Structure 1
Amino acid sequence: MAKIVESLKKLSVENSVCNGNIHNDRMLKKKNNFILAREEILSDNDNYALVVCGTQNDPEFRVAAALSDNSCVVYSIGESISHTTTLIHNESSIIGMKFSSSSKNILYMGTSDGIITVCDLRAKGRVIAEFKDNSDDGKLKPLTSFDISCDDKLLAGGTEHIGGDAFILFWDIRHSNSKANSKNNVLGGYWESHMDDITSLSFHSTKKDTLASGSTDGLINIFDLTQTSEDAALSYSLNTESSVDRIGWLNDDSLWCTTHTHCLQLWNCDGATPYGNFNRSSVGACQNEDPDSCYLVRVHSSNVFSHPFLIGGSSTAKGEHLRCLNIVNDSLDCCNIMLDNKQTVRDSWLHEKSACLITIGEGSLLNIWKPTDSPIIQQSAGHKLTAKMNSGKGRDKHHRTKPY
């Protein structure tokens, strides 16, 4: 892994101060009530909306939604909502998307065939760069996840379990080539730390050399990418005893995890067990619903509401319900219903400045939610929003146990 480490040294810059730490004082607890401000149909066909991402620009920001027909729809949202472009060049399903933190015009898209493309929205979504690993006689490794470091310079991709290994691949974003037959530009990879598909990757929000990975093998691994070998880089390995769906950072040294069995876990990096563990029954009880009908979407660790919150839902004979559940310390607080939801939600994204929440789902709808303490936003036939959207440490790998 010396190649990766050397590249990281070249990428080195001073980290900015993090302002997103969780405030654990229970006195800061307050309800997160959202109202539906806008609903947009993404596709007239029977497509699911699977993934959503956005930019943190202010006052106007962009949102991209990936559909089950491999296309991607991009909108600009501000005083009004407008369709920017539709990208249709993908030949395989989109497994993840992310905007560049330095430009609202640069969109990264990872696809299951093993390619991460970079699109320039100023040029109608033209592909300007491409990242892949074709070192195995030109055969690409199928991707299941990817993420970009906080300094926007290192790209990591997680693969399916193939040939007995599951890989985390690394690329230097500065060195790319959009030509399909270009030489392989991968820096290197890890392949000994996970035993199954790597479903989620999450770089730390301020520590550019810290990466967390989650897998269907039940492990959450945390790596220090400055180390010269994979074994040395593996700082912590957390056993969820389940199958990891999504992970993310809560603060400087703790993470959240949702599982494929619709459980929520909260972990300290050096924890032997999660300090917060909510199974599907307890999540259902918070929502006052039958646990079998409940699902989890995503945790948002924003400081907008002084504490993280979980977006969850339920599909019942009475309709599609969506709720916001507050996470304060190790507790899951009573939820607030988000009225007028019409679909099973698959993903969500939060605009920090305006506290505007975007959800997408199986009804091919993009919903824009605003907190109730913000000016009420109404829609008109002219696609106008009558109020502005903006308001003001390690373990020996040989002793790790499999979760099953």
Structure 2
Amino acid sequence: MSYSLVNSESFGNNNWCLNLQPAYQHSLLASLSNGQVHQLDWQTGKSIAHIKTGEVAVNKLKLINNDHENESTYATATMGAVKIWDIRSNNCLATISNDKNAPFLSLDSRHNMLACGTELSGSDAELHIYDVRKWDSPLRSLVDSHHDDITDIAFHPSDPNVLMSGSTDGYTNIYDLRQAEEEDALHQVINFASIHSCGWLAPRRIFTLSHMETFSIHELNDKSDEAKEPRPVEFNDVRESWGCDYVVDIHPGYVACGNSQEGIGKLRILPFQGEQVDTNNAIDINAAHGDEVVRDVFVPARNSKLLYSCGEDGSVKTWENKSGPLNVTDEFWDYSQLLNVLDEQPVVVEEPKETKHSKKKHSKSKKSNKQRFKPY
């Protein structure tokens, strides 16, 4: 299985392309370090419209409600504010700031809510949650739970009362939004490492990916007072076992990795099912973005023969797999039936067979050693 290049849309070597976000009924959205967001045609990969959000990089780009059937708005997080945009008119519908004027680094949106995470300001970083039908003030704020930059946020796809946040303070927090007090709302704390990304693999399964390229899968605690932290599945440093210099991110059905040492410039796609990463069927795209770091990869579930990648070379590239589609879906699991995960007993999940991993830490290239959530 291999990919051939369909189109390379360049926005200049001085502009890093940072995020890709699908608006299936309209276009693929791509954010840049110069503050622009471009709409790309799904088939050709060419830019068909763009906006200027400001003069600084777009740290995060997110479709409001992540609802592929009613796509109309998206949010951008920058050093100055979170802005809400209309996809069709390109008009700014609302601007969100915080009392500390702290830069926003992370976003997620589901269940008619938008969560915004900030950089560290003072002794804490803040997490603000908005009702997407009312932008004038937060629905609630969580201001004491992280003590460094909040780098990722993930609503539970089926339970609107569950929210996750990860930070460079080393913690991934899971909140029960039914609890009025922040201390009570902090349902579970996972002490892992500086978080690059975190999210859900199953209704009760949590993944954490660190800036040191360590990876782990944890179980959501039950709500009893006697609850003990379940033993996580530890993958440790995955660079040797996954054949890469850095992990771009974890996606439904695949892991995207990069290799930029010594001008190799390889993009690697590893099939990912359940808790198993299939290194025997890796797909390599050589010289995908030269020797620059790949920032994001997206395979659309509705046409998984295509793959889109973007990177620090300032380009978005469209690739086509002639051999057939990857096995990807919109989500990691079917959540058509609403599941209140905090009220359910934990499901006993069979642990994957133990895999030997080298404890040797590989040195990363100078480019891939950047803090990927802060591109400036």
TM over 0.5: yes
In structure 2, the CA distance between the partners of 1:128 and 1:223, relative to structure 1 (3 Å rule), is: same
In structure 2, the CA distance between the partners of 1:259 and 1:144, relative to structure 1 (3 Å rule), is: same
The residue type paired with residue 147 of structure 1 is D
Residue 319 of structure 2 aligns to a residue whose secondary structure is: strand
**1:70 and 2:35 correspond:** yes
Instruction: Confirm or deny: 8 A CA contact 1:219 1:238 kept in the other structure.
Output: yes
Matches within 5 A, 1:49-60: 49-57=17-25
**1:126 and 2:91 correspond:** yes
| Per-residue deviation, residues 333-359 of structure 1 (Å, max 9, x unmatched) | 212213451342111223111123321
In structure 2, the CA distance between the partners of 1:318 and 1:130, relative to structure 1 (3 Å rule), is: closer
Which position in structure 2 is the counterpart of 1:108? 75
Matches within 5 A, 1:381-400: none
Deviation at 1:296, TM superposition (A): 0.6
| Per-residue deviation, residues 74-127 of structure 1 (Å, max 9, x unmatched) | 11213x4442212113133211111232544422111122x211112322x111
Which position in structure 1 is the counterpart of 2:61? 97
In structure 2, the CA distance between the partners of 1:372 and 1:299, relative to structure 1 (3 Å rule), is: farther
Question: Hey, what's the Cα distance between the residues in 2 that align with 1:81 and 1:245?
Answer: 27
**1:165 and 2:124 correspond:** yes
1:333 pairs, out of 273, 278, 284, with 278
Instruction: Confirm or deny: 8 A CA contact 1:36 1:340 kept in the other structure.
Output: no
| Per-residue deviation, residues 273-319 of structure 1 (Å, max 9, x unmatched) | 4213231xx432332x6xxxx01101112xxxxxx321101112242
In structure 2, the CA distance between the partners of 1:252 and 1:161, relative to structure 1 (3 Å rule), is: same
Name the TM-score, length of structure 1 as normaliser.
Answer: 0.71
**1:359 and 2:309 correspond:** yes
Which position in structure 2 is the counterpart of 1:346? 295
Instruction: Confirm or deny: 8 A CA contact 1:165 1:191 kept in the other structure.
Output: yes
Question: Hey, what's the Cα distance between the residues in 1 that align with 2:183 and 2:288?
Answer: 46
Residue 145 of structure 2 aligns to a residue whose secondary structure is: coil
In structure 2, the CA distance between the partners of 1:278 and 1:39, relative to structure 1 (3 Å rule), is: farther
Calculate the aligned-residue CA RMSD, in Å.
2.3
Deviation at 1:234, TM superposition (A): 1.5
Q: Which has the higher contact order (CA 8 A, sep 6+)?
A: 1
Instruction: Confirm or deny: 8 A CA contact 2:41 2:48 kept in the other structure.
Output: yes
Residue 284 of structure 1 aligns to a residue whose secondary structure is: helix
The structure with the larger Rg is 1
2:156 pairs, out of 204, 212, 216, with 204
Name the TM-score, length of structure 2 as normaliser.
Answer: 0.76
**1:140 and 2:140 correspond:** no
Which range moves more in the overlay, 212-221 or 41-50?
41-50
Question: Hey, what's the Cα distance between the residues in 1 that align with 2:2 and 2:155?
Answer: 28
In structure 2, the CA distance between the partners of 1:354 and 1:186, relative to structure 1 (3 Å rule), is: same
Question: Hey, what's the Cα distance between the residues in 2 that align with 1:350 and 1:324?
Answer: 10
**1:275 and 2:233 correspond:** yes
Deviation at 1:52, TM superposition (A): 1.4
Instruction: Confirm or deny: 8 A CA contact 1:55 1:351 kept in the other structure.
Output: no
The residue type paired with residue 75 of structure 2 is Y
Deviation at 1:258, TM superposition (A): 1.5
In structure 2, the CA distance between the partners of 1:212 and 1:36, relative to structure 1 (3 Å rule), is: farther
The residue type paired with residue 123 of structure 2 is G
Unaligned runs of 5+ residues in structure 1 are 1-32, 177-183, 302-307, 376-392, 394-404
Matches within 5 A, 1:362-377: 362-374=312-324
Question: Hey, what's the Cα distance between the residues in 2 that align with 1:348 and 1:68?
Answer: 17
Instruction: Confirm or deny: 8 A CA contact 1:276 1:330 kept in the other structure.
Output: no
**1:323 and 2:255 correspond:** no
The residue type paired with residue 232 of structure 1 is D
Question: Hey, what's the Cα distance between the residues in 2 that align with 1:247 and 1:128?
Answer: 29
**Percent of matched pairs sharing the same residue:** 24
In structure 2, the CA distance between the partners of 1:206 and 1:328, relative to structure 1 (3 Å rule), is: same
Instruction: Confirm or deny: 8 A CA contact 1:62 1:104 kept in the other structure.
Output: no
In structure 2, the CA distance between the partners of 1:68 and 1:278, relative to structure 1 (3 Å rule), is: same
Unaligned runs of 5+ residues in structure 2 are 222-228, 326-341, 343-376
Deviation at 1:45, TM superposition (A): 4.4
**1:220 and 2:172 correspond:** yes
Which position in structure 2 is the counterpart of 1:117? 83
Matches within 5 A, 1:232-247: 232-240=184-192, 242-247=193-198
